[in-house]
Amino acid sequence: MEEAWVSSVWERLLSKIDGMKNELQHKSPHTTVNGVYDDMRLDWWTSGFWPGILWIVYDMTKDESYREAAWGWDERIEQCFVKPSNLHHDVGFQFLPTAVIKYKLTNDEDGCRRGLAAANFLAGRFNPAGKFLRAWNQEMRGWSIIDSMMNLSILFWAAEQTGDPRFRHIATAHADTVLRCFARGDGTVCHIASFDPETGAFIEALGGQGYAPDSAWSRGQAWALYGLANAYRYTGEQRYLRAAQLVAHYFLAALPEDGVPPWDFRVPAAETEPKDTSAAACAASGMLEIAASLPEQEACLYRNGAVRMLRALADGYATWDEPEQQGILRGGTGNKPAGQNVNVSLIYGDYFFTEAIAKLKGWENRIF
Ligand code: GLY
């Protein structure tokens, strides 16, 4: 039953992605406006997701047209290193689904070089006094954010690729700071932790893209559970898996009846607030990662939770028969407190939905 359902969703995904491939061409999609994807600047954190979709579909189908469409993206994004740009900690999001996966699938040496350059850039953002990765630029020298958990994979990959453990030391030091300063005993995490960049002392949690400092921004919970599961996969350290499970338990317990989270689980009157389908898609893919690390009798909780969310997305939010909608999932929320990109398609929602369905279909290479 599940297998037939997965295959039918995969087929519909392929037809949707084929349409995107024809229409998007060289555009770097981020969010839809009236159903049409924008063309975002390449230093924006989302520039890797569309090529990531293309690489996954290439890996699954071996159809050369996807490889050709994906091929040039790491070189294009690399230009942000040599021109004025606002690249920051999200180079993992940008170079894992482009340069690193390209190298893994095709052995392309330039892909490897670009992936390592991105890893070095991220490692250079480590604050040794506070043991955290600096997130953003400008004046935000002491701010670290939960999203960085997803960027750690490029450091773990670089450690394996070069044999240099410094990359892994930095990734685990940051992950341990997340356990200490972001994670709460109830299985939730804050979005931003602010530190004194001189002394490294933790100052306070901030609400960021969530409703409040002590709320539970749903995509932030997804970044945490998925990133922690990855940290376990790379290190074998049980504390990361246990923490990932705890966040997943909160996520599943807080999920409304319809299987798709509000943009923040703790916003007042959450049932009347916009959904965030990207949080559901990312959490589903992360829960499949948790499941893959556990024996079957423990794994099924996370696998069933993932399938529940993916079914809710496929049945209630996918734009299967709407060619005028370029995005795959509607109902994404980018940044509600800033009033940006609410109830739209988001390329990262489309990416993690595709990735999760590919995992259910047996895709074994990993981007994150
Ligand atoms: N990484 C930024 C976001 O999740 O919106």
Cα–Cα distance for residue pair 126/121, rounded to 1 Å: 10
- pLDDT band at 271, cuts 50/70/90? very high
Q: Where does the pLDDT of residue 42 fall: very low under 50, low under 70, confident under 90, or very high at 90 and above? A: very high
Among 348, 352, 368, residue to substitute to test ligand 1 (most atoms within 8 Å of Cβ): 348
Q: Decide if pLDDT at 346 tops 90.
A: yes
The residues, ordered by sequence, that sit 6+ positions from 8 with a Cβ below 8 Å of its Cβ are none
| Ligand 1 center from residue 124 Cα (angstroms) | 21
Look at residue 1 in the predicted model and tell me its pLDDT.
62
In DSSP terms, which residues pair with 189 in a beta bridge? 183
- Can you give the pLDDT at residue 221? 99
Give residue limits of the domains in the chain: 2-360
Task: Give the pocket of ligand 1 (CB within 6 Å).
Answer: 45, 147, 209, 219, 334
Q: Return all residues near 258 (Cβ < 8 A) that are at least 6 apart.
A: 312, 316
Give the atom of ligand 1 at the shortest distance from the alpha carbon of 278: 4
Burial class (CB in 10 A: 0-12, 13-18, 19+), 140: middle
Bridge partners of 217, per DSSP, are: 264
d(CA 228, CA 37): 31
* Ligand 1 geometric centre to CA of 243 (Å): 21
List of residues 6+ apart from 96 with CB closer than 8 A:
48, 52, 115, 153, 154, 157, 367, 368
Mean predicted confidence (pLDDT) in 214-242: 98
pLDDT value, residue 230: 98
Report percent pLDDT > 90 for the chain. Answer: 99
**Angle separating helix axes 49-61 and 73-82, nearest 10 degrees:** 150
Residue listed under structure tokens 């990855």: 230
Which phi and psi angles does 146 have, rounded to 5°? -65, -30
Element spanning 342, H or E: strand 340-344
Known catalytic residue: 147?
A: yes
Contact between residue 13 and residue 61 where contact means Cβ atoms under 8 Å apart: no
Taking the model in full, what pTM does it have? 0.98
User: Do residues 135 and 182 lie in contact, with contact meaning Cβ atoms separated by under 8 Å?
Assistant: no
**CATH classification code of 2-360:** 1.50.10.10
Mean pLDDT of 159-180: 98
Hunting for tokens 């980018």 — which residue is that? 334
Q: Which of 147, 264, 276, 350 is catalytic?
A: 147
Substitution candidate for ligand 1 out of 133, 151, 209, 278 with most atoms within 8 A of CB: 209
The reply to whether 90 belongs to the active site is yes
Q: Over the stretch 331-343, which tens digit does the pLDDT of each residue have?
A: 999 999 999 999 9
Helices marked H in the chain: 2-24, 49-61, 64-71, 73-82, 91-95, 101-106, 109-123, 148-162, 166-177, 218-235, 238-254, 277-292, 296-316, 347-360
CA atoms within 13 A on the CB side of 211: 17
pLDDT in tens, 101-137: 999 999 999 999 999 999 999 999 999 999 999 999 9
C-alpha to C-alpha distance for 58 and 162, rounded to whole angstroms: 26
**pLDDT band at residue 72 under the 50/70/90 scheme:** very high
